[in-house]
Amino acid sequence: MRPDLRIILFLFCFISFIDIVNGGRVGAGTKAGGGKTNGQKQGASPPKQSGGTFDVKSYGAKGDGRNDDSKAFTAAWKAACGSSGTVKLVVPKGTFLLGPVKFVGPCKTVDSITVQMQGFLKATSDLSRYGSSDDWIEFGWVEGLTLTGGGTFDGQGAASWPFNKCPSTAKCKLLPTNVKFVQMTNTVVKGLTSLNSKFFHIAVLDCKNFKASGIRISAPGNSPNTDGIHLERNTDVSISQSVIGTGDDCISVGQGNSDISITGVSCGPGHGISVGSLGKYKDEGDVTGLVVKDCTLTGTMNGIRIKTWANSPDTSVASNMTFEDIVMNNVANPIIIDQTYCPYTTCASMAPSRVKLSDIFFKNIRGTSSSPVAVTLECSKGIPCQNVNLHDVHLDLTSGGTVAKSACNYVEAKYSGTQIPPPCTAIVTKS
Ligand SMILES: *[C@@H]1O[C@H](CO)[C@@H](O)[C@H](O)[C@H]1NC(C)=O
């Protein structure tokens, strides 16, 4: 069994955050099973058994921003998913108030399904509507889904953020993620907006071949645990041409991911583009094959960060990661590897991290650092980083004046081309 919960702990200066993704399988049965009697206007509905278009309004959705349209959405999805061939689910323009809704398969006789989402979806702020493992909108166990149409998912998070105790205590109830994708194959997500999620905006878990582009994500820079896009245990994911400003990581690449490409993303405010945190649990998967290219970070806490826990209970690997053509505008930690992460007092012994970092390439990273140390390579004393390369790094201090510094430990990085800040010399021990 895979662990159903993933917990990431963050400690940054005086603030500690706890991010938890509920990656657990939720049964295909839905709570809002309105069934076939729910407002169908058969005359207006195209044929049901052989593809066609399913409009939530034909299943009773009002789209007036006041009526709870969850049951209508579920009924329309059930009809679409139970159909065959090429299928379209339409959410027309309008404001749809929704509790948790699950768009789950398998849709056994459907070849491909397009969700044409043009509406403005508003999450109910009544937290009692969300079960213990419910997120808000969930897509799961579907092959060949395209989600498009330019719609908006508004999590209405501001009302819920005061109830998020995770930043201050490990025992906390998780708030719902705005949009979660679980065990999907061959998914395309285009041109969607996520606003003010209660917790994460988008989580992609156990998916294969997932392509997202033109995503817009927005929440205040001080909103708690509002990660933009969190990835875990996926193969073959691309995220491109997207604009993310939020209160936590813009994109976090968690354990078990391979072949991930992140291009053309602008991030800020937020905590940057992160790999990790890795190495908190037993049996975590490796991270292999990551490319982050043509991205811009503005006013963020971190730029590119790789973070692993000290005292990790198990070994794992993160390797073959390239960060290329990245612009940093006034970023506190533009390049940072931190393998000593351990916010708990129980980590007093601080055994070195057992996550092996190797084959890491930073190429053409330029811009400004808002803190004096622009490059931090803090590797594990137990397993020093292997084959870390920096080529053409030019990071000035935002404040001008003196030259930025670099700091490193347990790594012998290879440097070529421009190096501002100048390379540091690290202690490297063989354990
Ligand atoms: C490194 O990752 C890239 C991108 O996923 C992949 O194309 C390449 O084959 C990988 N290289 C090795 C040596 O695994």
Is the separation of the CB atoms in 342 and 310 below 8 Å? yes
CA of 45 to the centre of ligand 1 (A): 48
State the residue range of the domain holding 396.
50-420
Domain contains 154: yes
CB atoms within 10 A of CB 119: 25
358: in domain: yes
User: Is 307 within a domain?
Assistant: yes
**Residue listed under structure tokens 């700091």:** 407
- The set of protein residues with a Cβ atom below 6 angstroms from ligand 1 is 259, 289, 291, 320
pLDDT of residue 344: 62
* pLDDT score recorded for residue 133: 79
Q: Which of 234, 259, 263, 389 to mutate to test the pocket of ligand 1 (most atoms within 8 A of CB)?
A: 259
Spatial contact of 29 and 36, defined as CB atoms under 8 Å apart: no
CA–CA separation, 353 vs 317, rounded Å? Answer: 11
Task: Respond yes or no: is residue 271 known to be catalytic.
Answer: yes
Q: What is the pLDDT of residue 70?
A: 98
Distance from residue 320's CA to the centre of ligand 1 (Å) = 6
* Residue 330 falls inside a structural domain: yes
Number of domains in the chain: 1
Residue 30 inside a domain? The answer is no
pLDDT at 37: 33
Instruction: List the residue whose alpha carbon is closest to atom 3 of ligand 1.
Output: 289
Taking the C-alpha atoms of residue 378 and residue 387, their distance in angstroms, rounded to an integer, is 14
Report pLDDT for 376: 97
pLDDT at 15: 30
SS3 label, residue 43:
helix
- pLDDT at residue 34, rounded to an integer: 31
Nearest to 397 by CA among 362, 373, 425: 373
pLDDT tens sequence across 258-299: 999 999 999 999 999 999 999 999 999 999 999 999 999 999
Q: Considering the domain boundaries, does residue 367 fall inside one?
A: yes
Say if strands 15-22 and 5-12 run parallel, antiparallel, or are unpaired. Answer: antiparallel
Q: How far is CA 263 from CA 14, 168, 193, 323, 415, in A?
A: 32, 33, 18, 10, 24
- Ligand 1 atom nearest to CA at 291: 4
User: How many CB atoms are located within 10 Å of the residue 259 CB?
Assistant: 16
Q: Tell me whether residue 378 is in a domain.
A: yes
Residues in the chain predicted with pLDDT less than 50, given as ranges, are 1-48, 430-431
Which position among 201, 271, 391, 394 bears the catalytic label? 271
Within a domain: 291: yes
Which one, of 100, 54, 46, 47, lies nearest residue 81 by Cα?
54
Give nearest CA residue, ligand 1 atom 2.
Answer: 289
CATH at 206: 2.160.20.10
